[in-house]
Amino acid sequence: MRRLSLLAITALALGLAPAARADEGMWTYDNFPTAQVKKKYGFEATQAWLDSARRSSLRIAGGCSASFVSENGLVMTNHHCVRSCLLQLSGKGHDYATEGFNAQIPEQEVRCPEIELNELLSMTDVTKKVAEAVKGLKAGSPEYAKKQKEAKTLLEKECSGGDDKLRCEVIDLYHGGIFSLYKFHRYQDVRVVFAPEQAAAHFGGDPDNFSFPRYALDMSFLRAWENGKPVKPEHWFKWSEAGPKEGELVFVSGNPGSTRRLPTVSQYQELRDYTIPEQLIQTAQWRGVLEQFVTSSEEHAHMAKTELLGIDNTYKGITGRYAAIREPKFMAQKMDEEKKLRAKIKAKAALAKSVGDAYERIAKAEDEFRPHRREYALIEGMVPTQLPGVQNARTVMYARTLVRLAAELQKPDGERLREYRDSALPSVKQALFSKAPLFPDFEKLKIAYGLTKLREDLGPDHVFVKKILGKRSPEEIAEEIATKSELRDPEVRKKLFEGGAAAIAASNDPAIVLARAFDDSGRPLRKWYEDSIEAGKNSGSEAIAQARFAIEGTSTYPDATFTLRLSYGTVKGWESGGRVVKPFTDFAGLYDRATGREPFKLAASIEANKDHVKLSVPLDFSSDNDIIGGNSGSPLINQNQEIVGLAFDGNLPSLGGDYFFDPAENRTVSVHSAGMLEALQSIYGAKRVVEEIRPAKAAGGAGQK
Amino acid sequence: MRRLSLLAITALALGLAPAARADEGMWTYDNFPTAQVKKKYGFEATQAWLDSARRSSLRIAGGCSASFVSENGLVMTNHHCVRSCLLQLSGKGHDYATEGFNAQIPEQEVRCPEIELNELLSMTDVTKKVAEAVKGLKAGSPEYAKKQKEAKTLLEKECSGGDDKLRCEVIDLYHGGIFSLYKFHRYQDVRVVFAPEQAAAHFGGDPDNFSFPRYALDMSFLRAWENGKPVKPEHWFKWSEAGPKEGELVFVSGNPGSTRRLPTVSQYQELRDYTIPEQLIQTAQWRGVLEQFVTSSEEHAHMAKTELLGIDNTYKGITGRYAAIREPKFMAQKMDEEKKLRAKIKAKAALAKSVGDAYERIAKAEDEFRPHRREYALIEGMVPTQLPGVQNARTVMYARTLVRLAAELQKPDGERLREYRDSALPSVKQALFSKAPLFPDFEKLKIAYGLTKLREDLGPDHVFVKKILGKRSPEEIAEEIATKSELRDPEVRKKLFEGGAAAIAASNDPAIVLARAFDDSGRPLRKWYEDSIEAGKNSGSEAIAQARFAIEGTSTYPDATFTLRLSYGTVKGWESGGRVVKPFTDFAGLYDRATGREPFKLAASIEANKDHVKLSVPLDFSSDNDIIGGNSGSPLINQNQEIVGLAFDGNLPSLGGDYFFDPAENRTVSVHSAGMLEALQSIYGAKRVVEEIRPAKAAGGAGQK
């Protein structure tokens, strides 16, 4: 159930979207189709309604969504979004991820070392300012890209004003049709309040993943603290004890990570023939390794179980997307759409001129990148090719961050690699100085695996491979780093960071030595990629997106960008191959589906409290909201802004959502608000949480200070 | 280095074959382009020359090639072709696969439980007889397929006359352009004589696999026995002490497994988008599992190392083929070729009529099969979708064979599933009654993995999954079969076999229970596949192939069919990205490349005998013969039919050989005859072998009784 978190890139089913757009769309809060919704459902989302929902919604910096659900800063999200925190807080004899967590008093709430919550304070259109900065420059030229980056960085810096509690990001919407400056409040002290057992949250495991009917209790509660006290948010969602009815209008307010509903045909072909299968193949092998690693001992299971769950989910997600994109019908439809759009562009001289050879430019960039994909992925390791490998090992990641920071911080903000801009530094540092424990065995496994892949894919005679390995084996290098690198100590990392370039240059730490070698060879590759490939593709995409924007305007929604969006839809079952699936499951179904064997084994508390649970209470439900990975933990709210559900997954057909929305089959899967309440009360005795969220406390409507 | 064995499906490099066919071709012995070779090289391969080379050449039933190299039945093949036999013969305290094997006296030669050698006695064109049997029937109809199968089975039966020492097979050449009846002598008592250490045979391991320059000593010697005595073959190859020169004409006589140089564009697309990536993804995950399994203990390494080597090789092979087929240029070229062929067909009324809607029929069959691929693969588990899974576990394979044999043997020969025809029974029984040891841990791993995949891919609610699992977990079922099935005892298998259908029906052996369930559900799927999919594709392919044959005749060669072929070419290096690779490596290079770390660690004997080895003696070499997986172990001979090399691999570009031959880059990689002799003498002191093959014993020319 890392299903909808950002890493869980999510595809399938080929009813293919009809001309009428149904309830499709991940709308920005400043362009919600209020009139359209009012016309269809008779409900008007006023500006106040929208503002309050926006401010009650949260993003978890690592790739999930969440929301405030009490006036005391209580936060609801998925269990799978806090699983790694639970693990980090576990130790000998207690495993909160597996056994659950329940703070009886405020003092028992424990801080998650790596969780940060972001609340979206404002959005400002800065399209003109960004355009101003590149005026007269050739779209796609390195100079254009550089100036645009500088302009964005400057805007972000001005916005945050160096305030560590703020995060500002210029978001490209409509692939450059609109640039919008998003300002977030950062909650950096986030503590766990309650989590059920893994077996409850993840009931059905991988087999049930991306499917409905479902019986998972994938919930958890956190609390935002500031200055040693629980936060009093300005806005929060109340709770609906009854939850939604079939057919009821519901909203998902969350952060969909990424969709690709607008690429060109050549980009779709590249995805189909290279990007996606490559990810899938690499993920599959790493999945196999992890499966066996986890099986080999209890210690290994403790180290790697979370990562395996993530990989299972990634694997199934990519599998679904691959199924969607390689369907001959899908590509045929995209070809047809592209033909029509190009005809419209051609029909208007101004558009034709501004688009120019954009389609060809994109295809050329793909052609140029193709022969170097693996080299780029393995040495520089950045998107779009990021794969399991040596840089996934935490020690190496820390070393890489330190090496790069030392060099980047000497440059003016605008000239740095984007991930080290001032605006990004707080979260870079948070990750770098994390106190999360490191497991040498697991580090060794990852490094050895990564270096072996490096040698396998580039060949033992590749100059970079020779430079890295010399006469040593991948295992030897991995062993050395895993056992001898001092970077496992956050204090050592802090010292090295403070020592800057000189300290890095002088370091003999084996992880730093390795990271320096990667950095040396990675930088020219990165520059080539940004200047020649990315700039070509981006400028092409922007030209096309802007032409499309000129034709369609904001009558449609932008591709997902892991920022806050609002999706509307109704509670609805679905039909699949003649089988009718109803929208609700209940506790009776959960007990019925249990086999006593993993992953269909009931959590101990659920098993023990069978007699106390009202079996007819709904547990999970499906709705036709348009969501994608990153939406994990999103609140489902009704018209009164009461929590009616907690999104944690989509069904299999929803996986095609990366490329298109299929209203007939694409479904959001959520835990039901009544089911959560029943579990908290009758299974977990989680009084504190119940008292905070219980509607009895303050009847109806959205919370507001 | 299972590289060229049949399972090691092999593809790459896109110079794309030029119009001039260079030395391309895997020619049948009855259609060798003698005139063409004579014209180009001035050498005439007479009928006597061809007959003698054919009879000296051997096929290893499991998927390799070999040859007689002495008058006493000594057989040369690759180490990787006998590795599993060496493992089967190993036990506590001695591991012949790793440590090597050297029989000092005939009595020390040990029988390989599963190796059978086939010598091709004759080839007879039976095209007319097969055509006769289907006269008047609609091509592609189930009736057509059934009658054709019956006709083939009858021909094979008549040919072998029930003689256990004969194997007869009707081979489809040119995809039905010619049907040829092949008659083989079966050598069933095959014993190991000599094998070097794994570290010598597989030096460079996976990183060096599919590459050149190389330094591997991938050789071994067997001996065919009959009636308790070494076989005296009628023909055998002598040895060339000096080996070949650069540019010298050399022949490869072996059994290329399978090429697909003639499919339609729709078939290539299916390969690109479904068949190949699916194999690769499945193989990748299983590879990861095996990697970790092998790492977890020495026992596990012993059980699974061979399978891992095979999987490494399969993975790299498919990777290469995938690289070739997804190159946009490749598909463009195939589209162009198809367009031209269709134009030629259209230009002749008779051809146009016979081809009819063959192209569309093939595409339709692909479309129909696509949604059921995984179901078919997982339940029936047959080609073309065979993947790692439950049926790979030996216990399950035995059970399946027993269950199916019990039913099939009650039917007339012609009506049986092809793999249980009378002509196939000897090898089916040999495999079934194999005394090779079974490892419960490994069996359990495979069964649990396979059942988990079954549930993952079909979903926990699929009717077949529910039938197989019920309320049990994959691990429980696997544990039960691995520990409780009595099929691990060959005597129990024999008894069950002899008991026939009644014994199978009455059996409670958990493996038999599982196999019955698979059989029940698999049969209707198989029937549907054969009648609707395969028949449609085959009849379409045949119609096109026959039209092509009418246009081109035997001026070209048929796709590989794992039967004996002769390829000619010259000893030649290659150029890659500006790097010039010379055709020979030597012992000096081997010692130089060694790092002391796996897989570049020298074998103990090689390390110890550095002072005795002539460092300038050539070790491996490359030539531009056209070969593919199945050619492993093929002799390379000169014009005098002397052994000059032993094929064991191709370079990376050779992997594209599945789809096209690229003369500029496709290279065969062989051990050099002088290098083999030097190793036998100066490193291994393998006197007996040296004395048998030494040219001093009988000077020059091919051996003949």
Please name the residues between 447 and 506 in chain A that touch chain B, using a CB distance below 8 Å. Answer: 455-456, 459-460, 471-473, 476
For range A264-274, the mean pLDDT? 94
Burial class of residue B470 (count of CB atoms within 10 Å of its CB; 0-12, 13-18, 19+): exposed
Among the partner residues B285, B292, B596, nearest to A293 by beta-carbon distance: B292
Position B327 confidence tier, pLDDT thresholds 50, 70, 90: confident
CB contact under 8 A, B597 and A473: yes
- Measured distance CA(A619)–CA(A621) in Å, rounded: 7
Domain boundary at A502, A535, A558, which? A558
Res A17 pLDDT > 50: no
Angstrom CA distances, B89 to B328, B392, B489, B668, stand at 48, 21, 17, 31
Q: What is the pLDDT of residue A577?
A: 63
CB contact under 8 A, B597 and A284: no
**A384 and A520 co-located in one domain:** yes
Residue percentage of chain A with pLDDT more than 90: 71
Whether the CB-CB separation of B562 and B630 falls below 8 Å is answered with: yes
Q: What are A370-426's pLDDT values in tens digits?
A: 988 889 999 997 544 456 677 789 999 999 999 999 999 999 887 899 889 887 887
Q: What is the pLDDT of residue A191?
A: 98
Residue A337: inside a domain, yes or no?
Answer: no
Domain boundary at A535, A558, A581, which? A558
Closest CA to B383 of B534, B591, B554, B227: B534
Q: Helix, strand or coil for residue B44?
A: coil
Q: What is the pLDDT of residue A219?
A: 98
Q: What is the pLDDT of residue A387?
A: 60
Q: What are B658-679's pLDDT values in tens digits?
A: 888 888 889 999 999 999 999 9
Q: What are A65-117's pLDDT values in tens digits?
A: 999 999 999 999 999 999 989 988 988 788 999 999 999 999 999 999 889 99
Residue B21: inside a domain, yes or no?
Answer: no
Residue B323: inside a domain, yes or no?
Answer: no
Cis peptide before A490 (omega within 30 of 0): no
Number of structural domains (chain A) is: 2
Tokens of A532: 């020649």
Place of tokens 């796609």: A140
Among the partner residues A206, A269, A293, nearest to B456 by beta-carbon distance: A206
Please name the residues between 328 and 357 in chain B that touch chain A, using a CB distance below 8 Å. Answer: 328
Whether the CB-CB separation of B386 and B397 falls below 8 Å is answered with: no
Residue B481: inside a domain, yes or no?
Answer: yes
* Dihedral pair phi/psi, residue A167, rounded to 5°: -130, 130
Q: What is the pLDDT of residue A695?
A: 61
Alpha helix segments (H runs only) across A389-439: 394-408, 425-432
Q: What is the pLDDT of residue B136?
A: 92
Position B52 confidence tier, pLDDT thresholds 50, 70, 90: very high
Q: What is the pLDDT of residue B469?
A: 94
Q: Helix, strand or coil for residue B394?
A: helix
Q: Which residue has the higher pLDDT, B702 or A265?
A: A265
Residue B114: inside a domain, yes or no?
Answer: no
Res A20 pLDDT > 60: no
Position A703 confidence tier, pLDDT thresholds 50, 70, 90: low
Computed over every residue of chain A, the mean pLDDT equals 90
Domain with A381 in it: 357-558
Angstrom CA distances, B131 to B135, B144, B149, B348, B542, stand at 6, 10, 11, 22, 12
- Measured distance CA(B223)–CA(B58) in Å, rounded: 12
**A451 and A479 co-located in one domain:** yes
* Pairing verdict, β B642-650 and B238-239: parallel
Position B703 confidence tier, pLDDT thresholds 50, 70, 90: low
Q: From start to end of B313-440, where are the E strands? A: none
Sign for the pseudo-dihedral over CA of B566, B537, B549, B173: positive
Residue B487: inside a domain, yes or no?
Answer: yes
ipTM exceeds 0.90: no
**Within its chain, how far is the Cα of B147 from the centroid?**
28
Whether residue A204 lies within 8 A of chain B, CB to CB, comes out as: yes
- Measured distance CA(B148)–CA(A28) in Å, rounded: 64
For range A481-510, the mean pLDDT? 97
- Measured distance CA(B61)–CA(B427) in Å, rounded: 8
**A548 and A571 co-located in one domain:** no
Tokens of A312: 């299972």
CB contact under 8 A, B471 and A206: no
Whether the CB-CB separation of A229 and A627 falls below 8 Å is answered with: no
Per-residue DSSP letters for B48-67? HHHHHHHHHEEEETTTEEEE
Domain boundary at A494, A523, A558, which? A558
Those residues whose C-beta lies under 8 Å from the C-beta of residue A562, and which sit 6 or more positions away, are A6, A59, A63, A255, A256, A257, A258, A630
Q: What is the pLDDT of residue A6?
A: 42
In chain A, what residues touch B316 (CB-CB under 8 Å)? 456
**A579 and A692 co-located in one domain:** yes
- Measured distance CA(B435)–CA(B433) in Å, rounded: 6
**A384 and A447 co-located in one domain:** yes
Nearest chain A residue to B594, by CA: A471
**Within its chain, how far is the Cα of B79 from the centroid?**
15
Whether residue A326 lies within 8 A of chain B, CB to CB, comes out as: yes
Sign for the pseudo-dihedral over CA of A245, A246, A249, A252: positive
CB contact under 8 A, A456 and B206: yes
Nearest chain A residue to B456, by CA: A207
**Strand partners for A171:** A180
**A606 and A469 co-located in one domain:** no
CB contact under 8 A, B460 and A286: no
* Dihedral pair phi/psi, residue B45, rounded to 5°: -85, 95
**A479 and A570 co-located in one domain:** no
**A496 and A392 co-located in one domain:** yes
Q: Which residue has the higher pLDDT, B102 or B575?
A: B102
Residue type, B97: A
Whether the CB-CB separation of A123 and A563 falls below 8 Å is answered with: no
Query: To probe the interface with A, which of B267, B276, B289 has the most A CB atoms within 10 Å?
Result: B289
In chain A, what residues touch B280 (CB-CB under 8 Å)? 277, 281
Q: What is the pLDDT of residue B578?
A: 67
- Measured distance CA(B302)–CA(B197) in Å, rounded: 15
Query: To probe the interface with A, which of B456, B480, B576, B600 has the most A CB atoms within 10 Å?
Result: B456
Computed over every residue of chain B, the mean pLDDT equals 90
Residue A661: inside a domain, yes or no?
Answer: yes
Question: CA of A294 to nearest chain B CA: how many angstroms apart?
Answer: 10
- Measured distance CA(A251)–CA(A27) in Å, rounded: 11
Q: What is the pLDDT of residue B696?
A: 58
Tokens of A120: 């979206």
Burial class of residue B135 (count of CB atoms within 10 Å of its CB; 0-12, 13-18, 19+): exposed
**A457 and A431 co-located in one domain:** yes
Look up residue A532 and give its DSSP letter: I
Burial class of residue B257 (count of CB atoms within 10 Å of its CB; 0-12, 13-18, 19+): buried
Q: Which residue has the higher pLDDT, A198 or A114?
A: A198
**Strand partners for B704:** B235
Closest CA to B697 of B268, B72, B80: B72
**A401 and A549 co-located in one domain:** yes
Question: CA of B601 to nearest chain A CA: how many angstroms apart?
Answer: 10
**A97 and A235 co-located in one domain:** yes
Question: CA of A273 to nearest chain B CA: how many angstroms apart?
Answer: 6
Q: What are A293-305's pLDDT values in tens digits?
A: 999 999 999 889 8
Res A159 pLDDT > 50: yes
Whether the CB-CB separation of A420 and A411 falls below 8 Å is answered with: no
* Lowest mean pLDDT, pick from A125-134, B19-28, B411-420, B437-446: B19-28
Look up residue B91 and give its DSSP letter: B
* Dihedral pair phi/psi, residue B54, rounded to 5°: -60, -45
Q: Helix, strand or coil for residue B431?
A: helix
Q: What are B354-402's pLDDT values in tens digits?
A: 999 999 999 999 999 998 888 898 999 754 444 567 778 999 999 999 9
- Measured distance CA(B151)–CA(B170) in Å, rounded: 10
Please name the residues between 264 and 323 in chain B that touch chain A, using a CB distance below 8 Å. Answer: 269, 272-274, 277, 280-282, 284-293, 296, 316, 322
* Dihedral pair phi/psi, residue B462, rounded to 5°: -65, 135
For range A152-156, the mean pLDDT? 93
Position B20 confidence tier, pLDDT thresholds 50, 70, 90: very low
Residue type, B26: M
**Within its chain, how far is the Cα of B133 from the centroid?**
30
Angstrom CA distances, A554 to A261, A355, A485, stand at 15, 19, 52
Residue B509: inside a domain, yes or no?
Answer: yes
Those residues whose C-beta lies under 8 Å from the C-beta of residue A498, and which sit 6 or more positions away, are none
Nearest chain B residue to A593, by CA: B471
* CA trace torsion B191, B195, B199, B203 (10° rounding): -110
Whether the CB-CB separation of A296 and B296 falls below 8 Å is answered with: yes
Widest CA span in chain A? 73
CB contact under 8 A, B597 and A272: no
Neighbours of A412 (CB within 10 A): 9
Alpha helix segments (H runs only) across B187-297: 198-201, 205-208, 265-270, 276-296
**A594 and A656 co-located in one domain:** yes
- The CATH number linked to A656 is 2.40.10.120
Residue percentage of chain B with pLDDT more than 70: 94
Residue percentage of chain B with pLDDT more than 90: 71
Q: Which residue has the higher pLDDT, A536 or A468?
A: A468
Among the partner residues A207, A289, A291, nearest to B460 by beta-carbon distance: A207
Q: Which residue has the higher pLDDT, B327 or A270?
A: A270
